[in-house]
């Protein structure tokens, strides 16, 4: 085992896959000589050259289209969005091309494309740099969507995504890059369609993903001291949702709380609630509760920004009310 930062775990995944397969390449703004805004591609251009680690102009729609064309013709591009909110400028390419071409071509083209980069509410980054786009992309057919939360699953997910023949969006959180944990020194992969049981419990199922994993774990420490026994699941896969793991947990606990940084209206929690109510309503002893971000542009002011996001104390209070 070796202790590693999350951004270095992502870098290791890219390096290993580029060394193994000459068709793997990276493109995006400042990914080359600068090494990426969060240093995920640091020094890789020295090893692989300026073509395989390609700096692009500030033109997301253009280089996303180029990456999709490259994927159609045999390459395995990794597109880094300097900030995931900027990829809204490439929404047409991602939805109408990346998500659909394998289907509209009758299977004649594969789209082995990875789209990755930082998102989420950071530290006073303002509304346009604090976007959570997972719900935007969830409705697009043909895409796989995952969200990493630890150095371990960051590396394993990225390696799996690079080898997949379908377009995969990997959401990274801007505040998790400096997380440092042990990961195996041997090669490993994390599946793109499975949730992780973070804590086994019997009283209530708490679903979460990305940065909110750590808010839930903080709340869990308090809840356990108070005699509660929560089961915590990190979704990891946002499309498809691992509904089987959720159902197995609900058979034990019969209570469900969903904690997300996504906005409440049309968020990931909304889709989970619909699926559970459609298929596993009889497992529930109480209505499902979701704790989501406020449906407003994220304020720049630090105190207001904090108030828009679910905090650990709110999770504690909600569990206590549900199980009272």
Q: What DSSP assignment string belongs to 149-213?
A: -SHHHHHHHHHHHHH-SS-EEEEEETTTTT-EEEE-SS-----TT--EEEE--SSEEEEE-TTHH
The torsion angles phi and psi of 194, rounded to 5 degrees, stand at: -125, 140
Please identify every residue annotated as catalytic: 60, 129
> In what helix (H) or strand (E) does residue 233 lie, and over which residues does it extend?
strand 230-234
CB atoms within 10 A of CB 55: 16
98, 111 in Cβ contact below 8 A?
A: yes
CB atoms within 10 A of CB 134: 25
Query: What is the rounded CA–CA span in Å between residue 148 and residue 154?
Result: 5
């Amino acid at each position: 085992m070796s202790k590693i930062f999350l951004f270095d775990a992502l870098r290791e995944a890219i390096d290993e896959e580029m060394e193994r397969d000459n068709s793997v390449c990276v493109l995006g703004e400042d990914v080359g000589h600068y090494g990426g805004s969060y240093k995920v591609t640091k020094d890789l251009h020295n090893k692989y050259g300026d073509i395989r680690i390609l700096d692009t102009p500030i033109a997301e729609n253009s280089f996303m289209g180029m990456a999709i064309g490259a994927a159609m013709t045999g390459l395995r591009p990794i597109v880094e969005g300097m900030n995931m909110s900027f990829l809204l400028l490439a929404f047409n390419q991602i939805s109408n091309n990346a998500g659909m071409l394998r289907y509209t071509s009758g299977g004649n083209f594969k789209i082995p494309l990875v789209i990755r980069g930082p998102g989420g509410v950071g530290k006073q980054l303002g509304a346009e740099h604090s976007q959570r786009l997972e719900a935007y992309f969830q409705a697009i057919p043909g895409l796989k969507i995952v969200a990493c939360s630890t150095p371990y699953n960051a590396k394993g997910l990225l390696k799996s995504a690079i080898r997949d023949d379908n377009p995969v969006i990997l959401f990274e959180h801007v505040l998790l890059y400096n997380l440092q944990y042990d990961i195996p020194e041997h090669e490993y992969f994390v599946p793109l369609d499975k949730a992780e049981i973070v804590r086994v419990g019997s009283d209530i199922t708490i679903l979460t993903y990305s940065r909110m994993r750590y808010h839930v774990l903080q709340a869990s420490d308090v809840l356990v001291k108070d005699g509660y026994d929560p089961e915590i699941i990190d979704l990891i896969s946002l499309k498809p949702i691992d509904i089987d793991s959720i159902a197995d947990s609900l058979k034990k606990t019969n209570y469900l709380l969903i904690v997300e940084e996504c906005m409440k209206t049309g968020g990931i929690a909304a889709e989970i609630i619909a699926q559970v109510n459609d298929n596993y309503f009889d497992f529930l002893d109480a209505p499902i509760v979701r704790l989501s971000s406020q449906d407003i542009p994220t304020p720049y002011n630090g105190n207001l920004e904090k108030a828009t996001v679910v905090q650990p104390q709110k999770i504690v209070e909600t569990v206590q009310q549900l199980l009272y």
